[in-house]
Structure 1
Amino acid sequence: MSLFRKFFGSSSDSSNSDKDKEQKSPYTPEENLPVDEMFTRNFQKNGGKFIYCENINEVSDNFLNILEENDWFECNVMCFDDSLNHLLKDNKLDVTKNIDEAQFLLSSCENLVGDEGSILFSSNQIKSYKPNELPINMVVFAKTSQIVLSKGDGLRYMNKKYNKEYPTNITTIKYFEEVKDEDFLHYGSCHKNLYLLLLEDL
C-alpha cells in the first residue's frame, strides 16, 4: 500500500480516527504508527505542504503546479544541488547565488524526521547558510527511503552515508507557517513557506 493511500485512507477510516482523537489527549503519543505516516502527520501539523509523487514524472508535473500556484515563472532561484537542475532548465528558471534575488530555494535534504515532522539539512544542501538566512519560500525534493524516526537516526544515517567526508552545518527546519503566539518551543526558530515533493522509492 502506498504512503499516500495509507495516510489519507477512506472516509470511513477518517471518521473512526476522528472518534479516537476525541477520546485521546492531544499530548498522548501515537502508538505503533509507521514512521512514514508519523512524518506526514507531524509535517502537515507543522504547516508544511506535502505532495506525494509515485514517479519522477509526477515530481516534474507537481513542481510545475507549484510554479503556477505562486507565479514563480521566469524568476531567480537558489539551488546548490546539481541533480535538481533539470527542473530549473525545463521551466526556464535562472540560478542565483544572491539570496536577495532568489524567489525560492530548490533543495534536496539529508533526511525527513518522523517524530517531529522536520527536515534535516547539511552543508551539502544549504552550504554555510543558517535557516533564517535562506529564502522564506522553499521547495524540497526527498524520497520515502530518507524518512527516519528521530534526529539521532538521521545522524547515524549520515554517518554511514558519508563516512570520512562528513558534512557541516547540520540543521533542521521544523516550522512551516508563521506562529501568531510564540511560546518557548518556537523561540529563536524561523518559519518557511515550504513544499515537499516526496518521491516513493520503496
Structure 2
Amino acid sequence: MNFLRKLFNISTESSNEKLIKKQPVNLSLDDSFVHHFINNGGKFLYSTKIDEVIYNLKHIIAENKWKEISCNDIDLLKLTKDIPVTIHEKLNNTNPVFTSCEHLIANSGEILFSSNQLGSQKLSQLSDDFIVYATTSQLVKNIGEGLTGIKMNFKGNIPTNISSIKNYSISNSEDDILEFNRNSKNLYLLLFEDL
C-alpha cells in the first residue's frame, strides 16, 4: 500500500499537520540570521570572550594554511598580534580579508559593508576568502534597518560603497550563466556576544 501512496503521491499527513506546517515561524533576530546565514553556505564561530575570538581566528588561519592576510582595521590588527601570519594593511585580491562589517541582516543572512571596511574597492575586486568580525549588537531585521543604522551612526559623514554579501559558497563553474552574484565569498564569521 505504501508503494501506491508513493506512486500516486498520496499524502498521509493529517489536516492538523498540514496546518502546523503553514504556520509562520517567528525566530529571534539572532536565530533568524544564523538560519539564513548557514543556508547560504556561511560558517560562523560564536564567542563570548575576546580570547575565544583570537583562538578561533588563529584556527581558521591555520586550517586554511594561510600565510598572509589583509586587514586595514587598527582594532582588528590587535587581535592578530600573537598569530603567526603576515598582515598586509592594504586590501587586495590575493590575500584573505580580515574585516569588520556594518550590520548583520537577520531576514536574509546578509552581511552589510561600507567604505569604512572596504575603502573604495568593490567586493568583487577582493579575495574570495573573508573572515568577518561582528558583534551581536550589529544584528538588524532587514536591509532597511541596516541602512537606517548606517545613516544614524554616521549622521554627518555617511559612508559610501555600501554593499553586502549574501552567498557564501564560491561557484567555480564557468558554465553557470545564471550566476549573477559576483559577491559570493568563502566567508567565516567571528560572532562576538556583546549584549
User: Structures share a fold, TM > 0.5?
Assistant: yes
1:115 corresponds to: 107
Residue in structure 1 matching 2:61, options 67, 83, 91: 67
Matched, 1:198 2:180: no
Give the deviation of 1:89 after TM superposition: 1.9
- Mapped to 1, the partners of 2:184 and 2:23 lie a distance apart of 24
Distance 1:156 1:191, change over 3 A: same
- Give the letter for the 1:193 counterpart: N
The alignment's C-alpha RMSD in Å is 2.3
Provide the rounded CA distance (Å) in 2 between the counterparts of 1:62 and 1:34. Answer: 25
CA contact (8 A) 1:50 1:197 kept: yes
- Indicate the structure (1 or 2) with the bigger Cα radius of gyration: 2
TM-score, structure 1 normalization? 0.79
Q: Deviations over 1:147-199 (max 9, x none)?
A: 00101100111111111111110000111103469586x52433111000000
State, as a whole percentage, how many aligned pairs show the same letter: 39
Give 1:86's match in structure 2, choosing from 74, 78, 89. Answer: 78
Q: Establish whether residue 44 from structure 1 lines up as the match of residue 38 from structure 2.
A: yes
The yes-or-no answer on 1:170 pairing with 2:162 is: yes
- Whether contact under 8 Å (1:40, 1:117) holds in the other structure is yes
Aligned residues: 175
Tell me the equivalent position of 2:123.
131
Matched to 2:135, the amino acid is K
TM-score scaled by structure 2? 0.81
SS at match of 2:75: helix
Q: Distance in 1 between matches of 2:166 and 2:112?
A: 9
Instruction: Identify if the C-alpha distance between structure 1 residues 122 and 29 changes in structure 2 by more than 3 Å, giving closer, same or farther.
Output: farther
**What is the CA-CA distance between 1:100 and the residue it aligns to?**
4.5
Matching residue's letter, 2:54? S
Residue equivalent to 1:6: none
Give the one of 155, 167, 182 matched to 2:147.
Answer: 155
Report whether the alignment pairs 1:141 with 2:133: yes
When residues 30 and 93 of structure 1 are mapped into structure 2, their CA distance, relative to the original with a 3 A threshold, is: farther
Letter in 2 for 1:169: N
